[in-house]
Amino acid sequence: MSNQLHETAVQSAISTRWLARSYHYLPTVGSTNDRLKEMLAKGSDDDPPAGTVVLADFQNQGRGRLNRSWEAPPGTSLLLSVLFRPYWPAKQAHWLTMAASLAAVEAIKKEANLTVGIKWPNDLMIFVVNEWRKAGGLLLEGSLSANGRLESAILGIGMNVNIPQEQLPDASTPATSLLVAGGRPIPRLALLAGFLQRLEAHYEVAERGKSPQATWVQQLITLGQSVHVTHTGSGQTLSGRAEGTDTWGRLLLRDGAGQLHTIATGDVTLRDRE
């Protein structure tokens, strides 16, 4: 099963022009984001081109934000990182996460026909029975040039494809997989190809200067809801109504006193879950 994501299979399944045309499959790695970072750091003639993908069947040091861990049993998931060289202003960085989460939502809808959405800022969610559960997450790590532009950006994504119920991680936000939510296994190769195809298309629109926000915001499950947002880093929590996002993908939160807050990153909990 797990050899289905080897280079030859992937190259014949995808129809991208440049994305994933440089493709590295690894049975096991620490973290695909870290491996891509190491490839970049070498800085030799074989510097990885934009669009390089590193994909693994198993990570023993998979990471979320703030060095939280990302856990997935071997051969059950899509675990990959994509290299971009956007030279965008730093504040545009979130467009990459937006483009990739949109691509993932569309590919999951197409391949698994499930109710799927995005929990701001970086979670892929599936509606199961009566609640939204986490089925994937995105991790963006970038480095800036001296003039503050995004010289390189590594976009990592993990999608729980065929993780059986008993192997789902015990996480703060309840987890699910496409298998558990839909009751049937989903071919990882088709899902990967669909994702990469859409990611290339969304990236190219963003590259022409158009924010993915208008389409992305429609997939947000938090909009119009009462939420708590815990700021990543400081740990401070704000509560209010999630009113929308701005063009950079920042959350607009109206607190009880009517004041509008613009939040760049954080962890959201829906207040009606309490």
Given the rule CB under 6 A, which residues bind ligand BT5?
31-33, 59, 62-65, 68, 70-72, 79-81, 122-123, 134, 137-139, 156-158, 160, 169, 171-172, 175
Q: How far apart are CA 184 and CA 111, in angstroms?
A: 11
Two tokens, residue 43: 């800085």
How near is the Cβ of 65 to ligand BT5 at its closest, in Å? Answer: 4
Torsion angle of C-alpha atoms 60, 264, 198, 243, degrees rounded to 10: 130
Q: How far is the CB of 147 from ligand BT5 (least distance, A)?
A: 28
Least separation in angstroms between residue 197's CB and ligand BT5 is 19
Q: In sequence order, which ranges of 69-124 are alpha helices (DSSP H)?
A: 94-112
CA angle 82, 193, 201 (to 5 degrees): 65
Distance separating alpha carbons of residues 259 and 264, to the nearest angstrom? 16
Residue 48 C-beta: closest distance to ligand BT5, Å = 16
Pick 28 or 145: Cβ nearer ligand BT5: 28
- Residue placing its CB nearer to ligand BT5 in the complex, 61 or 259: 61
Edge-to-edge strand ranges of the sheet holding 260-263: 260-263, 251-254, 237-245, 226-231, 266-270
Cα–Cα distance, 63 to 44 (Å, whole number): 26
What is the rounded distance in angstroms from the CA atom of residue 223 to the CA atom of residue 243? Answer: 6
The smaller minimum CB distance to ligand BT5, of residues 38 and 255, is found at: 38
Q: How far is the CB of 258 from ligand BT5 (least distance, A)?
A: 29
Looking at beta carbons only, is 63 or 198 nearer to ligand BT5?
Answer: 63
Which residue number is nearest to ligand BT5 in terms of Cβ? 137
Which C-beta is closer to ligand BT5: that of 57 or that of 71? 71
**CB neighbour list of residue 233: distance below 8 Å, 6 or more residues apart:** 66
Cα–Cα dist 166/77, whole Å: 15
Q: Minimum distance between the CB of residue 151 and ligand BT5, rounded to whole angstroms? A: 20
Closest to ligand BT5 by CB, 33 vs 197, is 33
